[in-house]
Amino acid sequence: MGILSSEAIILRTYPLRETDKLVVAYTRKYGKVRGVARGSRRIRSRFSGRLEPLSWVELVAFEGRNQELVSIDKVELLKGYGLAMQDYQAYLRSSYLLELLMETVPEHEANDSLFRLLLHVLPLLGDSHDSRLASVYFQIWHLKLAGLLPSLAACSRCGAALGRSTGAWRRLEVLGLFCQECRQGAGHRVLGEVLELADQVVKKSLPDLARGKIASKTVSALNAVAEEMAQTGFERKFDSLSLLRQESGNR
């Protein structure tokens, strides 16, 4: 029987039997794992307050006969980021990040870069002001780490340079960006400053970006591009996005 010991981010829990919870966690060493936390639904449980989604924890678990489900033995809370209930938009952005991790990250596949990315964005994700920037940052880097981020600096058809002075066009359900000549009629305009922000996202740290004064409409516009790219790149429709769009009310 193997022992698993790793830092982890709690992604989701489900009630299981009368007193237990099924826990889905993204661990640093083993990737996404599912486990049972026995007794965790009891009021006085040793897991109490440590299994909230987005908690950063140190987790110890045992592999049993059922390879798919580990038995969670110990959970130490390193930091609880929690879902930001006080701000509905920040809450929806956190839910979207959790949905992305649940839906697009394969089980049992460790990825230290993705784990570090999570630790990088979580502190700003619950902040009502910075959550939109944190969400853009996570999506662009998640696409990049998955090898799905198209060039944001060159037309994906002819290779012409795209940047602040040119802007670009995008088409629904197509990953790349296009220059004016290659846009082929229909297409959504991506303004130069949005491309410039995308370029900064891949070059700067999130706290550095958050210190700069970026117009909120530029952040929203890049979020819209990143959300489309995530749905096209991962070939999924994300439920949290429709709620987020209703709430943002501007697209």
According to the binding rule CB under 5 A, does residue 152 interact with Zn ion? no
According to the binding rule CB under 5 A, does residue 177 interact with Zn ion? no
In this chain, which of 16, 148, 182, 210 binds Zn ion, going by CB under 5 A? 182
Contact 201, 209 (CB under 8 A): yes
According to the binding rule CB under 5 A, does residue 124 interact with Zn ion? no
CB-based contacts of 240-248 (< 8 A; 24+ apart in sequence): 240/92, 240/95, 240/96, 240/99, 241/96, 243/92, 243/95, 244/89, 244/92, 244/93, 244/96, 247/88, 247/89, 247/92, 248/89, 248/220
| Closer to Zn ion by Cβ: residue 124 or 195 | 195
According to the binding rule CB under 5 A, does residue 168 interact with Zn ion? no
Q: 119: part of which helix (H) or strand (E)? A: helix 112-125
| Closer to Zn ion by Cβ: residue 29 or 157 | 157
Judged by CB under 5 A, which stretch of 47-55, 71-79, 95-103, 174-182 contacts Zn ion? Answer: 174-182
Name the minimum Å distance from CB 182 to Zn ion.
3
Query: In the range 44-103, which residues lie near Zn ion by CB under 5 A?
Result: none
| Closer to Zn ion by Cβ: residue 37 or 155 | 155
In this chain, which of 179, 224, 225, 230 binds Zn ion, going by CB under 5 A? 179
Q: 88: part of which helix (H) or strand (E)? A: helix 88-104
According to the binding rule CB under 5 A, does residue 158 interact with Zn ion? yes
According to the binding rule CB under 5 A, does residue 162 interact with Zn ion? no
According to the binding rule CB under 5 A, does residue 157 interact with Zn ion? yes
- Provide the angle, in degrees to the nearest 10, between the axes of the packed helices 131-145 and 216-233: 30
According to the binding rule CB under 5 A, does residue 154 interact with Zn ion? no
Which has the closest alpha carbon to 57: 34, 45, 75? 75
Q: How far apart are CA 19 and CA 147, in angstroms?
A: 41
Name the minimum Å distance from CB 160 to Zn ion.
5
| Closer to Zn ion by Cβ: residue 41 or 157 | 157
CA R_g for the chain: 20
Q: What residue ranges bind Zn ion (CB under 5 A)?
A: 155, 157-158, 160, 179, 182
